[in-house]
Structure 1
Amino acid sequence: MFSNSFILLNYQPIVYCDVAENWQVSFQDPATPIMEGIINLHHDLMFFIVVVSIFVSWMLARTLWHFDKAQNIHASSLSHGTFIEVVWTVTPAIILLIIAVPSFSLLYAMDEIISPAITIKTLGHQWYWSYEYSDYTNNSDEAITFDSYMVPEEDLELGQLRLLEVDNRLVVPVNTHIRVIVSAADVLHSWAVPSLGIKCDAIPGRLNQTSMFVKREGLYYGQCSEICGINHGFMPILVEAVSLPNYITWIYNKLDD
C-alpha cells in the first residue's frame, strides 16, 4: 500500500512509501530533514553492527576450534595479556565516540524549534485528536479548531486505507517551519508520524513541542503510539502537506465555516 503522492521526474512517476506496508522491514520514505537524518544514522550504525558481529563471530568460532580437545590436547597456559585487554577496552570506546558525534547532532536538531511560521496545537483524547490553528482567527476572534476521528470501515471510499483514514486531516504547507504543541486531555497519548520523523508524547497537564519541515506534498499517516485504552489502535493521524497557495485557500475556507 502506498500513498497517492508522487512526483514527475523525466516523465517517470516516483511513488513514495508514506504508509506502512504488509511485511515491511525498512523505514518509510522520509519527507523531512529530521527523518532523513534518522535513516542516515541508522545506516551508519548498521555498518558498525555488521563489522562487530562478524568479528565477534569469528572470535567465537576460532575459540571453539582451537580449544577443542581434538585440535589441542594440551591446553594453553596463557591467563591474560595486557595488550589485548587494552585493545578490547579502547576500541569500543573509540567506536562509541564516533557514533556519539552524529547522534548528538541529530538529537539537537530534533529538539530545536527554528522560528516557526505556523503553530499548531494537538490535543489527544480517548480516542481521537483535536487540532487548533491559533495563528488565524475569524471575525468573532475564534481560532480554527476541529476534531479528527477515524473513518469507520463501512464508510471508506475507494483508495482510502483501513484504520488510517480520518474525517478531518491536518493540513500543512510544504517548505515551512511548523511548530506542533502536543498535550492530552485525559490519559497518555503519543503523536507519531513515521515519514515525518515525529513521535511526541501527549501528557495531560503538560505541553510538549516538536517541529516539522515537510519537503514534499503528500499524505503522511501515523497513529497514537502510547497505549491509551481499549480504542488505542483506532485514533490515526493523517497529515496532508500541500502547496502554500492551496494551504492559504484551505485556511480561508476554514475561517468562513
Structure 2
Amino acid sequence: MAHPSQLGLQDAASPLMEELLHFHDHALMIVILISTMVLYIIVAMVTAKVTDKFILDSQEIEIIWTILPAIVLILIALPSLRLLYLMDEINNPHLTVKAIGHQWYWSYEYTDYEDLAFDSYMVPTQDLTPGQFRLLEADHRMVVPAESPIRVLVSAEDVLHSWALPALGVKVDAVPGRLNQATFIVTRPGVFYGQCSEICGANHSFMPIVVEAVPLEHFENWSTLMAEDA
C-alpha cells in the first residue's frame, strides 16, 4: 500500500513484481550514468569553451558514441525481454478467477467452483469504518490463497477497463468480447489494492480492486461459506 510522500514503487508482494523492481533500478542507474556524462560534457564545453579539433572531429569519438548507445540498448533490452516472457507464462495455476469489468464495478467468477461468483462495488465514503481507505475499499474482496499460482482471466461487459494491482505487478486490459489473462503468486498474506487503469467513463475512479491473500485453509473455509450463501 502506498503512503504519503512515498518515493518509488510499492513494496513487491509477488516474484514478478520483485523482478520488475530490479529492472526499474537497473534501468534507472543506466539513465543516471548517461545523464551525468552528458551533463559533464555540456558543462565542460560551456565553461572551458572546448573547441579542440580532436574532440569535435575525432574518428575515435564518433566510433565510441555509435557503439556505446548500442551497448546500452542491449543492457536494457535483454532483461526487459526476459521479463516480458515471464509475464506471459502460465504454469499450472492452482486457481482461476475471471474478472469482468462493468460501469462501474468488478464482478468475479471462480471458475473452479460451481456457484462462487459475486460483484465488487466500492464502499461509499460515508460507510467506511476506521482503518479502511477512501476510494480503495470494496464491499467484496477477491480472496485468493497465498503462495499459490493464480490465473486471472480479464474481460469487460461494456467499455474498456484495466485490472491493475501495482504491488503484484499485474496490469491487464479488459476488452469487451476478448479474454486476456495474467498470472501471479502472492508471496505473503495481506490485502492489496488497485484501481481501474483505463479511462472508462464518469465513475472511472470509483471501481477499486481489492485482493486479499490468505493461507490455503482459510481460503477453503471462505469458499465453502460463499458457496453456501450463494
Aligned to 1:95: 72
Deviation at 1:177, TM superposition (A): 0.7
Query: Percent same amino acid among aligned pairs?
Result: 50
Aligned to 2:10: 28
Counterparts of 1:101-112 in structure 2, within 5 Å, are 101-112=78-89
Write the letter of the residue equivalent to 2:212.
E
Aligned to 2:112: 135
C-alpha spacing 1:83/1:77, structure 2 compared with 1 (3 Å)? closer
Aligned to 1:83: 60
2:147 aligned to which of 172, 175, 180: 175
Counterparts of 1:11-90 in structure 2, within 5 Å, are 19-67=1-49, 76=52, 80-90=57-67
Provide Cα deviations, 1:92-137, integer angstroms capped at 9, x if missing partner: 1011112222111111111111111111000000000000001012
Aligned to 2:172: 200
Q: Distance in 1 between matches of 2:228 and 2:219?
A: 14
Write the letter of the residue equivalent to 1:34.
L
Instruction: Name the SS of the counterpart of 1:135 in structure 2.
Output: coil
Which range moved further: 94-103 or 114-123? 94-103
Provide Cα deviations, 1:156-181, integer angstroms capped at 9, x if missing partner: 01111111110000000011111100
Aligned to 1:120: 97
Instruction: Name the SS of the counterpart of 1:136 in structure 2.
Output: coil
Write the letter of the residue equivalent to 1:121.
K
Provide Cα deviations, 1:14-68, integer angstroms capped at 9, x if missing partner: xxxxx2222322111101001000100011111111111110000001111232x
Aligned to 1:146: 118
Q: Distance in 1 between matches of 2:174 and 2:93?
A: 20
1:240 aligned to which of 189, 212, 225: 212
Q: Distance in 2 between matches of 1:195 and 1:116?
A: 19
C-alpha spacing 1:28/1:77, structure 2 compared with 1 (3 Å)? closer
1:218 maps onto 2:190 in alignment: yes
Give the superposed CA RMSD. 1.2
Instruction: Name the SS of the counterpart of 1:164 in structure 2.
Output: coil
Write the letter of the residue equivalent to 2:59.
T
Instruction: Name the SS of the counterpart of 2:116 in structure 1.
Output: strand
Instruction: Name the SS of the counterpart of 2:119 in structure 1.
Output: strand
Aligned length: 228
C-alpha spacing 1:247/1:65, structure 2 compared with 1 (3 Å)? same
Provide Cα deviations, 1:177-202, integer angstroms capped at 9, x if missing partner: 11100000000100001101011000
- Which structure has the larger Rg? 1
Aligned to 2:224: 252
Write the letter of the residue equivalent to 2:36.
I
C-alpha spacing 1:234/1:57, structure 2 compared with 1 (3 Å)? same
Provide Cα deviations, 1:129-151, integer angstroms capped at 9, x if missing partner: 000001012xxxxx311000000
Deviation at 1:222, TM superposition (A): 0.3
Instruction: Name the SS of the counterpart of 1:181 in structure 2.
Output: strand
Instruction: Name the SS of the counterpart of 2:98 in structure 1.
Output: strand
